[in-house]
Amino acid sequence: MPDFPFFHQDDDDLAVQNAKPKLKKPSLYRVILLNDDFTPMDFVTEVLENFFGMSEDQATAIMLQVHTQGIGICGTYSKDVAETKVYIVNSYSFEHEYPLKCAMEEI
């Protein structure tokens, strides 16, 4: 390329900016259980054991926490897993004609 004034090749004027990372960590979700006046305590304990892998002692402690405080945490999961747990618990409760409600919230 001819070294002619019109063909300047130095990049002194070039503005360079660091690229922002495009990927962000996937969010985590808390799966929570809500109290009601009708679902039997042993049904709630069974749900916590069967769908959240809790021991009988753990499940009883969480069930009693929900019963006395109105809300309790079943676990923390990725979005897909949390959605599946909520769906399974609510469907199972509905099939058994109990009003037990499970929900999720982004952390």
Alpha helices per DSSP H over 6-107: 41-52, 56-69, 79-95
Instruction: Name the 3-class secondary structure at 25.
Output: coil
CB of 75 to ligand TYC, least distance (A): 14
Among 30, 49, 67, 81, binds ligand TYC (CB under 6 A): 67
φ, ψ at 73 (rounded to 5°) = -100, 125
Question: Could you say which of 35, 58, 60, 90 contacts ligand TYC (CB under 6 A)?
Answer: 35
The stretch among 8-16, 27-35, 77-85, 88-96 that binds ligand TYC (CB under 6 A) is: 27-35
